[in-house]
Structure 1
Amino acid sequence: MLIYHSKRTKYRKAHKGRVGGVDYRSKVEFGQFGLQADQACRLTEKQIEACRTAIMRRIKKIGKLWIRIFPDIPVSAKPTEVRMGKGKGSVNYWACRVKRGKMLFEIGGVSIEIAKKALQLGASKLPIPTNFINTLNPNPNHS
């Protein structure tokens, strides 16, 4: 299991921060199909990896997958049943702040049916609603 996080950081621990706003500039750049976040949240490295494995199982070795997010924020937590104070807890996991509209994953080299099914399987592993983006036929209602 691949676990993604930064090898080196300037500071060991980070502030919590808030996730909000909309990413208007994010679009499909590498493949033909994309999975776009429909809500702002923090995604953990385990969620990203679970999504990646689900997509890769479906597209097999036919297509190519691009991961457009990277968990670069260390999230710390104190152990259970520990009293308040005595400093900040140790780093528990790594996370990625995702704005609404951010392109999370992209697929290329597969048919639209396989891409749609693969990205649906991947989206089921994520805690947020997502959209399937198709660049081959960007507006299916108007033809």
Structure 2
Amino acid sequence: MPLMPKRVKYRKSQRGVVRGNATRGNYVAYGDFGLQTLEGGWLSAESIEAARVTMTRVVSGEGRYYIRVFPHKSVTAIPAETRMGKGKGEPEFWAAVVKPGTILFEIGGIPEAAAKECMARVAYKMPFKCRFINRRPNV
């Protein structure tokens, strides 16, 4: 079941514009390794769920993973071949607004090689370019 808010004040949200780099949520805070976005955009709840399933399979009882984004934004769409007017479409899916530099997922309690492999699989499912980062740089 994809993530979505339990309740919202307004069902339909405006599109908005993703500008600038992330100033919050741009460093590894909970795990040892993270997946950082290099581009901005919307990350659908389905993509987050696909990443969660992938991380669960890789971790499987050894380590722990953290999801750092939540889909608060409702994205609406009008059915195909509909005439103009008749208002805004119904909410189709939920998305997280992501700026470049945001940490999407973190993982801890497993070796770096396993974490790198896990995050590579997760990054393949993401709609934008991502990179693997450490909590602490190699000294």
Shorter-normalised TM-score: what interval? Answer: over 0.9
Say if 2:125 is the partner of 1:125. yes
Provide the residue aligned with 1:91 in structure 2: 91
| Distance in 2 of aligned mates of 1:125 and 1:62 | 23
Contact 2:29 2:135 in 1 (8 A): no
**1:20 positional shift:** 2.1
Provide the residue aligned with 2:10 in structure 1: 11
Q: SS of the residue aligned with 1:124?
A: helix
The alignment-based identity, stated in percent, is 42
Provide the aligned length of Structure 1 versus Structure 2.
Answer: 138
Given the two structures, how large is their TM-score scaled by the length of structure 1? 0.92
Q: Could you tell me which amino acid in structure 1 is paired with residue 12 of structure 2? A: K
Structure 1's consecutive aligned runs of 4 or more residues displaced over 3 angstroms after TM superposition are: none
Contact 2:27 2:135 in 1 (8 A): no
| Distance in 1 of aligned mates of 2:39 and 2:63 | 27
Provide the residue aligned with 1:103 in structure 2: 103
Once the two structures are superposed, residues 83-122 of structure 1 have per-residue CA deviations (whole angstroms, 9 ceiling, x without a partner) of: 1110001000001110000000000100001100000000
Provide the residue aligned with 1:65 in structure 2: 65
Superposed CA RMSD: 1.1
